[in-house]
Structure 1
Amino acid sequence: MSSPELVPGLAGIPAAESSVSFIDGQAGVLEYRGYPIEELSAHSTYEEVAWLLLYGELPTAEELKAFTADLERLRVLPEALVSMVKAFPRTGHPMQALQASLAGLGMVAPKVDLKDAASRDEATRRVIAATPVLVALFERVRAGKEYVAPREGLGTAANFLWCLDGEEPDEVAAKTLDCALVLHAEHTMNASTFACRVVASTENDPYTSCSGAVGALFGPLHGGANERVLNQLGTIGDLSNVEAWFEGKSERKEKVMGFGHRVYKTKDPRAKNLQLLANEMFGKLGSTPKYDIALKLEQVVTEKLGSRGIYPNVDFFSGLVYEKLGLATDVFTPIFAMARVAGYCAHWSEQMLDNKLFRPGQIYKGKRQRAYVSIDKR
């Protein structure tokens, strides 16, 4: 009997049936529940998109009003959880803090009855509501500042900026961040979403499942690429260095961060929308040397590598946007996570409807049928 063929990384192997989102990498298409990401990012708020991902349809005005009010209620963190986050080492990475915080949220939240739709629903809403507050709380903690509680009347993006600074959020900044959250909310069966579904398949609640997903997202091959894009642009240093820098990278066969994608063979549709957003924001708030370098680098790389299907991905512009908003570099990935929890929770809910425990096989390459040797003869 021949051994099964190994597919490294399970590339292209279906792991589940899902109706949450759709990608056509050749055509550069991303849809949430059938709606093009271009339409959603242009016309819908993050709250509308979270509802869509959870329930399959865009909300009515009444549904959105009730959902928004529920998120406001669930943003209020129990004091025990606030105290826990305050006790974290300030030198820890914000993603480690978020992973631990989500697990902690599960410890203080009501126990989830996995067989009860209302209980499952409240838990997913609690994750989506609390995650941005938890990210902002740790940012305050490590800066030696006091906790800023959520404020009524603000959406997810604006409330995050409020909890971060304790100041009235700038309208342009809040709108920009809200759009970025929409663009990062879901992306089919990526590594962290798969991790979420694997953890969920053992009949875990969404707190534990999303905590596991955040652990996967923390890896530099998944969620941390936008940080490395900024470092790369800083290394280039000046607009006049772009072409020589790229030629050096090409000669050494080194990767240019922010370009290429495992799925997309054309420009990432999220990158297109984020670039439009960045153009608007930099136009209103002023450009930066890094942004100018980025535009030049995009031009050079597209000319040289576009024929091979290598174009900017979403990470190429997201870090530039977050830096312009005054956010610390190592909080970029937690912002990715606070957007993506909507997608995680949608996949968690889907997994619960027809759950099967993930138990993949393996191709064994080790020795067999070995004779045991007692310790005195080894």
Structure 2
Amino acid sequence: MKPTTGKPSTPPEQWWKTSIIDVQPGEIGIRGYPIETLIGNLSYAQMVWLMLRGEVPSKPLATLLEAALVAAVDHGPQAPSIAIARMSMTCGVDINNAMASAINVLGDVHGGAGQQCMDLFRSVLECASAEQCGVAHASDIVVGDHQRNVSKMIPGYGHRFHPVDPRATRLLALVEQARCEGLLTGQYLAAARAIEATLARRANKAIPINIDGATAVIYSELGFSATLGRGLFILSRSVGILAHAYEQSQAQERIKGPMPPSVPYTYTGPARRNVPSSTVRYENDQY
């Protein structure tokens, strides 16, 4: 007989616990709100906030969240996640497989800059508090530490394609407007601007904030954690992934690789060679 520990077993109904949803026959409650009272009354951005934070946000704050979600939906088929979605569809998989393949590459390198930037903003503010200095000096400390110990590149700044990211310009204008209206503290916006100034001084040229940095400002100002910041980016970019995957499925093309056949890859291995005679297996003087 198996010995008992004396501890009571977990009741089956207690195995999974959630404060998000309660589903009973004929009833669905989201954070305590009957679903039928939310349908038609909440925007999608408000629903996202409710699911993640537990409360319904005001319309102005939901509008700012929605702006960030809209801004990051797509950046063209040259983006790895979008390209993967399109290539997947040409392999004959279903759209959910294509979307999953694309989302799975949104990690630290492609898709993680927003989360990293949110962490950087928080480090600047914590440094300013600990050192009892302004965000400008704290930014210099944090950026210097990052460039020495992590990477010369600062997440959320600069862009390989856009000299000035038009998405970031618009988003930060909305943040500034919300700050002037007293909806936000503006502390993360100040940290973002301080880092931008620090980078310009260190590089002796402008390195403007990009879409990742701008959405990081918004998500931070709205009180989302850095982890949720990455999740919100993935939620936003999933719209672009879906659109590209579906468009590609309508083209009826098969097995398209990353480059057209006219653009060959580069082989870097050994030149053509023979198998060493000492390794060849002979049977009855034949191969």
Change (3 A) 1:187 1:244: same
Matched-pair contact (CA < 8 Å) for 2:20–2:54: no
- CA deviations on 1:236-273 (whole Å, 9 max, x unpaired) are 32213233554666688722221112222x12111111
Please name the residue that 1:211 is paired with: 100
Matched, 1:196 2:74: no
Q: 1:145 aligns with which of 1, 9, 19?
A: 19
Residue 91 of structure 2: SS of its match in structure 1? coil
Matched, 1:270 2:167: yes
Please name the residue that 1:352 is paired with: 249
Matched, 1:317 2:214: yes
Larger Rg: 2
Residue 231 of structure 1: SS of its match in structure 2? helix
Superposition pairs for residues 77-92 of structure 1, below 5 Å?
none
Q: Distance in 2 between matches of 1:328 and 1:187?
A: 24
Offset at residue 164 of structure 1 (A): 2.8
Q: 1:364 aligns with which of 254, 267, 273?
A: 267
Counterpart residue identity of residue 226, structure 1: G
Q: 1:185 aligns with which of 73, 76, 80?
A: 73
Q: 1:155 aligns with which of 43, 57, 61?
A: 43
Residue 311 of structure 1: SS of its match in structure 2? coil
Matched-pair contact (CA < 8 Å) for 1:185–1:340: yes
Counterpart residue identity of residue 193, structure 2: L
Gaps of 5+ in 2: 1-14, 22-28, 129-134, 282-287
Matched-pair contact (CA < 8 Å) for 1:198–1:357: yes
Please name the residue that 1:260 is paired with: 158
Counterpart residue identity of residue 314, structure 1: I
- CA deviations on 1:16-75 (whole Å, 9 max, x unpaired) are xxxxxxxxxxxxxxxxxxxxxxxxxxxxxxxxxxxxxxxxxxxxxxxxxxxxxxxxxxxx
Offset at residue 171 of structure 1 (A): 1.2
Counterpart residue identity of residue 186, structure 1: D
Counterpart residue identity of residue 89, structure 2: A
Offset at residue 347 of structure 1 (A): 1.1
Matched-pair contact (CA < 8 Å) for 1:278–1:317: no
Offset at residue 226 of structure 1 (A): 1.2
Please name the residue that 1:135 is paired with: none
- CA deviations on 1:121-168 (whole Å, 9 max, x unpaired) are xxxxxxxxxxxxxxxxxxxx7xx4232545301222112123334433
Offset at residue 202 of structure 1 (A): 0.8
What percent of counterpart residues are identical? 22
Please name the residue that 1:49 is paired with: none
TM-score scaled to structure 2, two decimals? 0.70
Q: Distance in 1 between matches of 2:141 and 2:51?
A: 43
Q: How much is the aligned-residue C-alpha RMSD, in angstroms? A: 2.9
TM-score scaled to structure 1, two decimals? 0.54
Figure out how many residues of one structure are paired with residues of the other and give that number: 232
Matched-pair contact (CA < 8 Å) for 2:61–2:183: no
Superposition pairs for residues 102-181 of structure 1, below 5 Å?
144-147=18-21, 149=30, 151-153=38-40, 154-181=42-69
Matched, 1:223 2:111: yes
Offset at residue 288 of structure 1 (A): 5.0
Residue 235 of structure 2: SS of its match in structure 1? helix
Q: Distance in 1 between matches of 2:138 and 2:231?
A: 32
Matched, 1:373 2:279: yes
Please name the residue that 1:233 is paired with: 121
Gaps of 5+ in 1: 1-85, 88-140
The structure carrying a bigger helix percent of its residues is 1
Q: Distance in 1 between matches of 2:234 and 2:64?
A: 17
Offset at residue 306 of structure 1 (A): 7.0
Residue 105 of structure 2: SS of its match in structure 1? helix
Change (3 A) 1:273 1:369: farther
Offset at residue 169 of structure 1 (A): 2.6
Q: Distance in 1 between matches of 2:187 and 2:267?
A: 52
